A = this chain, B = another copy of it.
Amino acid sequence: MSEDFRILLETFANPSPNRDYEIKITCPEFTSVCPKTGQPDFGTLIITYYPGQKCVELKSLKLYLQRFRNEGIFYEAVTNRILEDLVAMIEPRQMVLEALFTPRGGISSTITAKYHAESSS
What sequence of 0s and 1s flags, for each residue 2-30 of chain A, a beta carbon within 8 Å of any chain B beta carbon?
00000000000011100111111111110
Asked if A80 is at the interface (CB within 8 A of a chain B CB), the reply is yes
The oligomer's copy count stands at 10
Q: Which residue of B lies closest to A13 (CB)?
A: B76
| Total chain A interface residues with beta-carbon distance under 8 A | 45
**Are A21 and B79 in contact, with the CB atoms below 8 A?**
yes
| Closest residue of B by beta carbon distance from A16 | B80
Q: Are B77 and A15 in contact (CB under 8 A)?
A: yes
How near does chain B come to A17, taking the closest CB pair, in angstroms? Answer: 10
User: B27 to A106, Cβ gap below 8 A?
Assistant: yes
Indicate if the CB atoms of B58 and A19 lie closer than 8 Å: no
Q: Cβ of A21 and Cβ of B106 under 8 Å apart?
A: no
A29 to B107 CA separation, bound complex (whole angstroms): 8
List B contacts of A76 (CB < 8 A): 14-16, 23, 51, 55
B contact residues around A24 at 8 Å (CB): 109-112
Contact, CB under 8 Å: A102 / B29? yes
